A and B are shown apart, each in its own frame.
Chain A
Amino acid sequence: MRNVGIAILVFFGALLFTQWWDFTLPSLGRAEYQAVFLANGQTYFGRYYDRVGAYAKIEDIYYLQQTLGTDPDQAAETKLIRRGKELHAPAARMLVPKSSILFVEDLTDASPIAQFMKQDRR
């Protein structure tokens, strides 16, 4: 009976630990935010985590959106949009196949995008 209790505790402990861990690989000395350049030309900004398996993870995602005005001579307006208000209201966690990632760059603290994201999250 004691053994069964221990097995149940270990099972739930492993389950909760894995939910928290999410198979992410530790990355020492990295910046708070990264820019993730994808194979289709899209760039996502957020917290990038390498994971065990086929997928990497990005959390708290922002992306650049260009809006053309009515005046064709005017330059397009670029906005940094926080992901989550789209029609499918995605959760903050996005899984990206590693095969779709071109490269990942850390954002410096001086980066205006990193500063905007820090302020926006407060």
Chain B
Amino acid sequence: MSSYDPERDPVRMAGRVLRWAGPWVVLPAAIGVLVSGNIDLRSIPVVGPERMTAVLLLDGQAYFGHLDDSGESGTLVLRDAYYFQDAKNGPTNLPVGLVRRGGEAHEPADGMRINRDKVLALEQVGAFSPVALAIQAERQLARLSSPLLTLNRAAIASPNIVAVQRVAAEHDIQRAHIAAVGQLVKLNELVLPISKAEAQVITDRTIADFRTVRRNALAALGSALGLSSAETDTYVRTTDTQLEGQGFASDAGVLLAPDLNVIVNRAAQLYTQVGDAAAKQLTQARPTASPTPTSRP
């Protein structure tokens, strides 16, 4: 009589363990590794805070947005992308301004495909960083919203953040205004080829033009903030009066939402144009009437 018991056969036992471990251990472990490789526990898809990535390129440019790096094609896809633009001579007290990708001359669609070989580094953007707050404010101003089903829900700025952005934009507009007026005053201190009375007329008119630029910029700001035309009128009147004479030179720079940044830059450009036109008028001598030639000596 054989003492062989198939239930105790080591090979059969090993086979049973392996058959059991496949679906209940190996598969869940593999899924766990796969899921973990594509998520960050600090910003879990669907329920966690927004996950925004900074993509630094070899050429020095930096793009911020929602990164999809799950493919093996050697290409990263960056959606809802923003980037820095030089703003060293701007009124924002910051060396850069933020721009939303999509408004360029070729109007690119959402979704930049970036060659991984041209990427220098990837970093997680801080949730309360100036870049993140400016992007959140932009979404609020542009009334952008996430689709209902998304793994990485875009954060929208609270009214407080938008208020901080509005005040910073007002101060930037006023700083550019003060700089333009300062240039005009300096110009008046020079020896000019026109009379003092003429210079005063040009200066007064230019200062009035500067104020018009400021009012128009504030009106654009009110419109961007979603105010009605009546609310915008009131906002422009009160803010224009509050800003008059203020300097804000020592304000810490606030990175503006791209839509607000455009308004501030446009105002700065107009101040320069108006100032340049005034400088031309102040520094050019008026043509004097030449004597009429006569036939008599």
A residues with CB within 8 A of B: 3, 6-8, 10-19, 23, 38-40, 42, 54-55, 86-91, 93-97, 99-100
Cross-chain contact A89 with B117 (CB below 8 angstroms):
no
Cross-chain contact B129 with A18 (CB below 8 angstroms):
no
Distance between A18 CB and nearest chain B CB, rounded to angstroms? 4
For B204, what are the chain A residues with a Cβ–Cβ distance below 8 Å?
A: none
Per the bound structure, the CA–CA distance linking A17 and B29 in Å amounts to 10
Distance between A12 CB and nearest chain B CB, rounded to angstroms? 7
For A12, what are the chain B residues with a Cβ–Cβ distance below 8 Å?
A: 32
Q: Mark B23-39, 1 if CB is under 8 A from A, else 0.
A: 11101111111011100
For A95, what are the chain B residues with a Cβ–Cβ distance below 8 Å?
A: 121-123
Per the bound structure, the CA–CA distance linking A48 and B96 in Å amounts to 30
Distance between A120 CB and nearest chain B CB, rounded to angstroms? 19
- Pick the residue among B20, B30, B94, B126 that contacts A90 (CB under 8 A): B126
Per the bound structure, the CA–CA distance linking A115 and B125 in Å amounts to 28
Cross-chain contact A90 with B120 (CB below 8 angstroms):
no
Cross-chain contact B58 with A11 (CB below 8 angstroms):
no
Also in contact, A10 and B129, with CB within 8 A (given A39-B58, A94-B123, A97-B119): no
For B27, what are the chain A residues with a Cβ–Cβ distance below 8 Å?
A: 7
Distance between B115 CB and nearest chain A CB, rounded to angstroms? 10
Cross-chain contact A88 with B60 (CB below 8 angstroms):
no
Distance between A4 CB and nearest chain B CB, rounded to angstroms? 8
Distance between A49 CB and nearest chain B CB, rounded to angstroms? 14
Closest chain A residue, CB of each to CB of B76: A97
Also in contact, A93 and B32, with CB within 8 A (given A40-B58, A87-B131): no
For B94, what are the chain A residues with a Cβ–Cβ distance below 8 Å?
A: 87
Question: Size of chain B's interface in residues, with CB distance under 8 A?
Answer: 41
Cross-chain contact A10 with B121 (CB below 8 angstroms):
no
Also in contact, A89 and B126, with CB within 8 A (given A18-B36, A40-B58, A100-B120): yes
- Pick the residue among A19, A54, A87, A96 that contacts B121 (CB under 8 A): A96
Cross-chain contact B25 with A7 (CB below 8 angstroms):
yes
Per the bound structure, the CA–CA distance linking A7 and B31 in Å amounts to 10
Per the bound structure, the CA–CA distance linking A8 and B27 in Å amounts to 11
For B148, what are the chain A residues with a Cβ–Cβ distance below 8 Å?
A: none
Also in contact, A8 and B28, with CB within 8 A (given A15-B36, A90-B125, A100-B58): yes
Task: Determine whether B41 belongs to the interface, using a CB cutoff of 8 Å to chain A.
Answer: yes
Q: 10 extra interchain contacts, Cβ-Cβ under 8 A, other than A13-B32, A89-B130, A90-B126?
A: A10-B25, A17-B36, A19-B40, A54-B116, A55-B122, A89-B129, A89-B131, A89-B132, A91-B123, A99-B116
Cross-chain contact A89 with B120 (CB below 8 angstroms):
no
Per the bound structure, the CA–CA distance linking A17 and B125 in Å amounts to 24
Cross-chain contact A88 with B131 (CB below 8 angstroms):
yes
Cross-chain contact A97 with B130 (CB below 8 angstroms):
no
For B31, what are the chain A residues with a Cβ–Cβ distance below 8 Å?
A: 11, 14
Cross-chain contact B29 with A10 (CB below 8 angstroms):
yes
Per the bound structure, the CA–CA distance linking A40 and B132 in Å amounts to 26
Distance between B20 CB and nearest chain A CB, rounded to angstroms? 8
Also in contact, A14 and B125, with CB within 8 A (given A6-B24, A40-B60): no
